[in-house]
Structure 1
Amino acid sequence: MFAFGLVAVCTGCASGLNSHQKAELNYYEARGMAVEEKSPGAGAALGLLPGGGSFYGREYGLGVVNLLFWPLSILWDPISGHNAAQSLNYTATKAHVDRIQQKELADLDERLKTGQIDLTEYTLEKRKVDQKYSFN
């Protein structure tokens, strides 16, 4: 019974992405804008080693716990490693998309400031940039 409770508690430590975040990451992946900082498959595979999935996903405290509870942690650490890698990829993708959107908007602002485009063109182009990077 203790082991079941421990599994329930530890699997909640790295719950991964919620459904909105998963859909958003899929959206960016489909458009070639996603960043894969860590491989979820590698995180899951490393979860079979003592604390490996958690350490791979930069969840060091959970890694130590999983190391101490190995081999029992094999029940949840592959899931933790997969979810942690997916969360890191989501965060990296959001930062990447924000950077490229801000660069495009800064370029657009510069074109307006130098008179290369007028306010009407600027407004239309800005709307296109916002739509390009917006998930909703």
Structure 2
Amino acid sequence: MKIKTLLMLALVTSLTTGCASGLNSVQKREYQAFKNDNVLVEEKNPSTGAALGILPGGGSFYAREPGLGIVNLLLWPISVLWDPISGYQGAMEINYDITKQKLQSDKRKEMSKLDDKLATGELNTTEYVMNKRKVEEKYSYE
């Protein structure tokens, strides 16, 4: 009876807290492109997330999923079957999101500088359009 109660608690908690679902196929391609171009911001190491998943709830806590971490803590050692994957995927999601935010911020800054140069007359319209295309191309990963 105790096992049924724990499983029911785990199910309810996991449904209400969500879990690291991983990156979709487009995001995985972008993530790889970020790595290849050396622009990936790696706040969390996916391998560390996977290794910590062996500990009770460790992968989920590492991936900033405390609700799921508590469930995995309660279900340990069975949670060793999925928590390393959750930790790995969660770390990748964090890195992906942070990288996207940084690239968007960098693009906005570069575009703002171009706008300022156009406004002050340092660039004519043709130069502005050419430089704008270069900036947009530089930050296009989709």
Q: Give the TM-score, by structure 1 length.
A: 0.90
Residue 13 of structure 1 and its aligned partner are, at CA, apart by 2.9
Report matched runs for 1:53-132 at 5 Å. 53-132=59-138
Q: Percent identity at matched positions?
A: 54
Residue 76 of structure 1 deviates from its aligned partner by 0.4
Aligned pair partner of 1:13 in 19, 26, 42: 19
2: distance between equivalents of 1:111 and 1:78?
A: 50
Question: What is the count of residue pairs matched by the alignment?
Answer: 130
Q: Structure 1: which amino acid aligns with 2:95?
A: N
Cα deviations by residue, 1:40-79 (Å, 9 ceiling, x for unpaired)? 0000000000000000000000000000000110000000
Counterpart contact for 2:19–2:65, Cα < 8 Å = no
Question: Which consecutive segments of 4 or more residues in structure 1 shift more than 3 A?
Answer: none
Aligned-pair distance for 1:126? 0.2
Q: Distance in 2 between matches of 1:102 and 1:14?
A: 29
**In 2, distance between residues paired with 1:120 and 1:30?**
32
Q: For residue 27 of structure 1, report the CA deviation from its aligned partner.
A: 1.1
1:133 correspondence with 2:136:
no
Question: What runs of 5+ residues in structure 2 fail to find an aligned partner?
Answer: none
Deviation at 1:135, TM superposition (A): 1.6
CA contact (8 A) 2:60 2:69 kept: yes
AA aligned to 1:27 is A
What is the distance in 2 between the residues matched to 1:25 and 1:110?
Answer: 32
1:89 Cα shift? Answer: 0.4
Provide the C-alpha distance between the structure 1 equivalents of 2:69 and 2:128, rounded to a whole number of angstroms.
Answer: 50
**What is the alpha-carbon distance in structure 2 between the residues aligned to residue 29 and residue 110 of structure 1?**
31
Q: Of 43, 59, 72, which aligns to 2:49?
A: 43
RMSD (Å) for aligned C-alpha atoms? 1.8
